[in-house]
Amino acid sequence: MPDDAHATTGSYVKAGAAFDRDMNYIPDRITRTGGAPLDDRAGAGKPPVEDAPTWPVEPGRYRLVAAKACPWATRALIVRDLLGLQDVLSAGLPGPTHDSRSWTFDLDPGGVDPVLGIERLQQAYFARYPDYPRGITVPAIVEIASGQVVTNDFPWITHDLFFEWRDHHSPDAPDLWPADVRDEMEEVMQRVFTEVNNGVYRCGFAGSQEAYEAAYDRLWATMDWLEDRLKDRRYLMGESITEADVRLFTTLARFDAVYHGHFKCNRNQLTEMPNLWRYARDLYAHPAFGGNTDFEQIKQHYYVVQTDINPTQIVPKGPDTSVWG
């Protein structure tokens, strides 16, 4: 067995307590010119940090580090592909399991990221903050030349890829933040984040029966609301894909494979909700969504890493993912 310093496992449940996500991240922003952001509304899901450092958009200067196992990181990969930024912002892909120190590049030859030349993402964090006190999270954007992490503030990363990197979008890039539905979309995204994206974690990491049941009821109230919302529309905001769809999809893609059983969100499966299931499969058929969804990596991450929930580390063979199409 590995020693504690190199364990692939972690403790996520605090006995007797409800789960509370730490939303404090490195607040730096990558902006069009390195100056004030073009869009600074709090619609990224959290308010911007006042006087946060800014870095200029420059093709080839940065590398997006994002594990396909992680729903927050997969958002960034999907948005990068939707906007056609693959040639201006490269991507490094850590493996699905990590030790107690950091995500590692075990999918790459020799276990080293071929661009950054590091074995673990922790090295980029420590290159900038030698005593970085928080978790080493993905997604993270790293400056290639210095090897230093720039930001890991996941709600603002995807927001800024749209607003600040617009000069480099492909001609057919979708309008992920349409102005005519912006206010409503922010309300939808806030509810999706609080009750669904984070709601499944509140169920899975609940430290008491009471906390679990409260989280479960909140989750399913919003899942039912989403099922009803999608009965007469293709996507959350209408007939076009928006940032709201990216944010919901990464939870739905993990629902039956992980959250239904592992996190005890088991009132019913996604495949049993006709509108949400149709919607999820519709998005999955798009290369940016389906191409960044790896069910085996997803299962490996949750079932192997979270040993306080799954102490045997046995990874289930099911469900049958061929139903996604």
Q: Which residues are annotated as a binding site for glutathione?
A: 103
Tokens of 7: 């364990």
Binding site listing: 103
| Residues catalogued as catalytic | 70, 201
Copy the structure tokens of residue 141: 């954007």
Q: How far is CA 184 from CA 179, 190, 209, 245, 300, in A?
A: 10, 10, 34, 13, 36
User: Which phi and psi angles does 233 have, rounded to 5°?
Assistant: -145, 150
Q: What is the C-alpha separation between 270 and 319, in angstroms, rounded?
A: 12
204 near 259, Cβ under 8 Å?
yes
Helix 154-163 and helix 71-82, axial crossing angle in degrees, nearest 10: 0
CB 88 within 8 A of CB 60: yes
CA-based end-to-end distance of the chain: 39
What residues have CB less than 8 Å from 133, skipping those under 6 apart? Answer: none
